[in-house]
Amino acid sequence: MGATLSHDHNHRIAVVHFTAPTCWWSWGYEPVFNRLKLVYGDQINLVTFYGTVYEDVEEYKKDYELDDAGMIKWAKESQEIMGVPMHLNDHFDRMPKNLLPAPLAVMAGMRQSHEK
């Protein structure tokens, strides 16, 4: 899943970032990408590929030997390292059981146009 990498010769640098909308580690990189755009302007082509490895959160937790408490502990650690604001105590209670619709919605929106 993802966008097509444009081979535009006007860009001297291409940065390709793979992420899922449910990945808090990726959220922490947003300031880095904004700064790259500010520093390099039109010389850089930033491309983000959206997807998800797991459709089912329970399958993900099982494969990584995590329970809800372990997920919250990991999220708190990520929040401290990356500085991503998120509500940790209720985050996993409200997480959808199927993660696939979020990346599909993002990809559908990106196909309309970047501006939309």
18-27 pLDDT, tens digit per residue, is 877 667 777 7
In a domain, 56, yes or no: yes
d(CA 116, CA 110): 8
In a domain, 96, yes or no: yes
In a domain, 5, yes or no: no
In a domain, 80, yes or no: yes
pLDDT digits (tens, 9 = 90+) for 45-65: 888 777 777 777 788 889 889
In a domain, 3, yes or no: no
In a domain, 19, yes or no: yes
In a domain, 57, yes or no: yes
At 88 the pLDDT is 67
In a domain, 2, yes or no: no
Instruction: Provide the 8-state DSSP code for 94.
Output: S
Number of domains in the chain: 1
At 38 the pLDDT is 92
For residue 41, the number of C-alpha atoms closer than 13 Å in the C-beta half-sphere is: 1
And the tokens for 55?
A: 């459709």
